[in-house]
Amino acid sequence: MNMKSESLRSQAARVFVAVETIDRLFPRDLSGNRIDLTLPQLRTLMAMSGNNHRFMGDLARSTGYATSALTGIVDRMIKKGLVVRSRDLEDRRMVRVQLTKSGSRIADECKLQALKCISTALKEIDDSERRKMVYLVEKVAYNLSSGSKAKV
């Protein structure tokens, strides 16, 4: 196929398929089989990594889950000893979620395993292509986050 004549819609479809494939093939158990995490729990854990306490609303925005769905995710993470939940002392309506020591350790392990997996996938790509790809992925992420939301 002539790349110059490929339409934007076709390119978007190819990116969509590639992202879906990466998502499907990416390891789900980054914690080394020590704890059974669902994908929403893993995403929530990773969102909290490095920023140990989060308000539920902020966490919902950063994970993409509705606050109502996140409540159930956090409930299950509490049962696993990964997070604790508390009310903000100044505004009782605000709910804060914080990683436990165990949750923080597992989040760090998961992040390390994710970086190893991604590094392995990237090592076969030429350095200049890798640099360009990183730049372009960051640019796409910025475009999506800066309000250039697709009209549905």
Domain coordinates of the chain in residue numbers? 11-121
HSE-up of residue 42 (Cα within 13 Å, Cβ side): 18
Both tokens assigned to 9:
């819609």
pTM for the whole structure: 0.72
| Tens of pLDDT, residues 79-121 | 999 999 988 778 777 888 999 999 998 888 888 888 888 898 8
By CB neighbour count within 10 A (0-12 exposed, 13-18 middle, 19+ buried), where does 85 fall? middle
Asked if residues 66 and 60 have their Cβ atoms less than 8 Å apart, the reply is yes
The residue ranges of the chain whose pLDDT is under 70 are: 1-4, 28-35, 52-53, 147-152
Asked if residues 62 and 100 have their Cβ atoms less than 8 Å apart, the reply is no
CATH number 1.10.10.10 given to 11-121: yes
